[in-house]
Amino acid sequence: MLRRLLPLLICLAGFHRPFATAAPASTADYAFVHVWPGWREASSFERLSEYFGGQESTGRDSIHRTQPTARAGYYFLVRVKNAGALAGARFELRVIDQDHPEPQLHLFPIDLTRGEQVHQLGLTGTDWPRGRTAHPVAWQLTLHAADGHILATQKSFLWEKPAK
């Protein structure tokens, strides 16, 4: 019996792919499912538990603000799909608005866990003084691995000129 299975086992061994213990992050493993930009009032973050415990409760969402003490601001709600955990990553958000023709860079350090996650990246306080009626002219969001290479990117329609 083993003699008959031996050629099959040898053939299957050729298709064996060893497991990597520390494989580098690949762009195929990470993607932005959706990016929703929009204004959020400070009151939209209030939860009942905050009245009892005093601390902000974020639920399952990961909330990052340019100025942590200011809640109201222009947020980018980002749903990220990732195949594996990633420590030391960062979101880089570049925003052009009517007051600044050059892109303003905002960094948000993040440790990703495996699976789909929602992250809220907020331009708060003096980083978005224009209020609820203003919108960015253009924006670009990238997710970088700890070593700096880009894992995912998404941009608004007006971020760059179309190719001629």
Q: Summarize pLDDT for 7-42 with one digit per residue, the tens.
A: 444 444 443 333 333 344 555 789 999 999 999 998
Domain span at 36: 29-155
| Phi, psi dihedrals of residue 24, rounded to the nearest 5° | -70, 150
Torsion angle defined by CA atoms of residues 120, 125, 126 and 131, in that order, rounded to the nearest 10 degrees = 80
Residue 7 lies in a domain: no
Q: What whole-number distance in Å separates Cα of residue 111 and Cα of residue 100?
A: 30
Residue 38 lies in a domain: yes
pTM beyond cutoff 0.95 = no
Residue 146 lies in a domain: yes
- Angle (CA) 74-76-77 rounded to 5° is 125
How many domains, the chain?
1
pLDDT of residue 51: 60
CATH of the domain at 92: 2.60.40.10
For 138-153, the pLDDT digits (tens) are 999 999 999 999 999 9
Whole-number mean pLDDT of the chain?
Answer: 81
Residue 4 lies in a domain: no
Residue 3 lies in a domain: no
Number of alpha carbons in the 13 Å side-chain half-sphere of residue 127: 24
